[in-house]
Amino acid sequence: MVIDYFEPTTVSETVSLLAKYGDDASVIAGGQSLLVMMRQRLVSPKYLISLKKVGELNGVQEDASGNLSIGAATTHRDAFTSPVLRRGVPLLCQAASKVGSTAIRNLGTIGGNICHNELGADPPQALLALNAKAVCVGATGERTIPLEKFFTGYFETAMNPGEVLKMIEIPSPPPGTVGVYLKHALRAGDLAIVGVAVLLGLETPSKKCREIRIGLGGVASVPLRAYKAEQLLQGSVIGADVVNEAAYVAMSEVDPVSDTHGSADYRRKMVGVFLKRAIRQAADAASKPGSDV
């Protein structure tokens, strides 16, 4: 089959091409997931619209208040090596650094990752814990979708046909918060059996939790926030009992499937194990003034 390949240079040109070719067209960013799907004949686009030359989709911007925007076509490597992101949202850098292998991080993009929405991807749960939003552009204009409403099911998102993800916006995290991302996979380079992202802020010296956000991945049809566990921790003095209880609550908030990497029961247990570890690490770091993980 012959595939026509386009290299637009603007978002509006990209959207026009998508409108023209409809369901026969697909945008391609790093190609790390799309080309696998094409090789497996799961999708067979007749028109490929590359995002490589769309300058607007690349790079990281920070405003005067520390709010960040990340172009959708920013690669995982560029994300985790970005000095701006390392300073502002080290939690996302940790997650991006755990994606697949060096080759995949060099080519795969943050935008492609969340649009593909594969079970066990790493950046989504970090972005959820950072209250990120997806900015999409279509023929009728631009709209912003909070990330917790963006993921709608396995390989599905709230984006409409013909829309392009332009960027991911991240509000400046509350001062003094610490981020920890932990990934549990059987082998290096695998998708996560469980991915846990924690953003934590403590009052000192009381260790009372003043900010807690928990993102979980690999353990339900969509990456999710563990709101009930967060509620339990918010305002509590962080110690072994409350952390154990929060881990137990988080295990009840997930709905994992069994597959060749692990049973549903195992994944649920690993949520508890890795959440406890992540909270402890974040709490240790947050207790040290001026430190960040």
Ligand X SMILES: Cc1cc2nc3c(=O)[nH]c(=O)nc-3n(C[C@H](O)[C@H](O)[C@H](O)COP(=O)(O)OP(=O)(O)OC[C@H]3O[C@@H](n4cnc5c(N)ncnc54)[C@H](O)[C@@H]3O)c2cc1C
* By CB under 6 A, residue 119 contacts ligand X: no
- Chosen residue from 84, 104, 257, 285 binding ligand X by CB under 6 A: 104
* By CB under 6 A, residue 94 contacts ligand X: no
Binding mask 24-43 for ligand X (x = CB under 6 A): --xxxxxxxxx-x-------
DSSP class of 194? E
* By CB under 6 A, residue 145 contacts ligand X: no
> Helix H segments across 98-239?
102-107, 110-116, 123-129, 147-150, 227-233
* By CB under 6 A, residue 115 contacts ligand X: yes
Q: Which stretch binds ligand X (CB under 6 A): 22-30, 82-90, 222-230, 283-291?
A: 22-30
Residue nearest to ligand X (CB): 108
DSSP class of 237? B
* By CB under 6 A, residue 100 contacts ligand X: yes
* By CB under 6 A, residue 109 contacts ligand X: yes
> Helix H segments across the chain?
11-21, 34-39, 76-81, 83-88, 90-97, 102-107, 110-116, 123-129, 147-150, 227-233, 240-253, 264-287
DSSP string over 26-41: EEESS-TTHHHHHHTT
Nearest to 183 by CA among 111, 81, 273: 273
CA distance 278 to 197: 7
CA distance 46 to 67: 39
- Chosen residue from 89, 93, 164, 249 binding ligand X by CB under 6 A: 164
Q: Which two tokens stand for residue 61?
A: 């911007």
Q: Which two tokens stand for residue 164?
A: 């392009």
Q: Which is nearer to ligand X, 106 or 131 (CB)?
A: 106
* By CB under 6 A, residue 162 contacts ligand X: no
* By CB under 6 A, residue 69 contacts ligand X: no
We find the least distance from the C-beta atom of residue 115 to ligand X, in angstroms, to be 4
* By CB under 6 A, residue 19 contacts ligand X: no
Q: Which is nearer to ligand X, 70 or 212 (CB)?
A: 70
We find the least distance from the C-beta atom of residue 199 to ligand X, in angstroms, to be 19
Q: Which is nearer to ligand X, 45 or 88 (CB)?
A: 45
* By CB under 6 A, residue 74 contacts ligand X: no
Q: Environment class of residue 126 by beta-carbon count within 10 Å: exposed (0-12), middle (13-18) or buried (19+)?
A: buried
Q: Which is nearer to ligand X, 80 or 276 (CB)?
A: 80
Q: Given the rule CB under 6 A, which residues bind ligand X? A: 26-34, 36, 51, 72, 99-100, 104, 108-109, 111-113, 115-116, 118, 121-123, 164-165, 189, 191
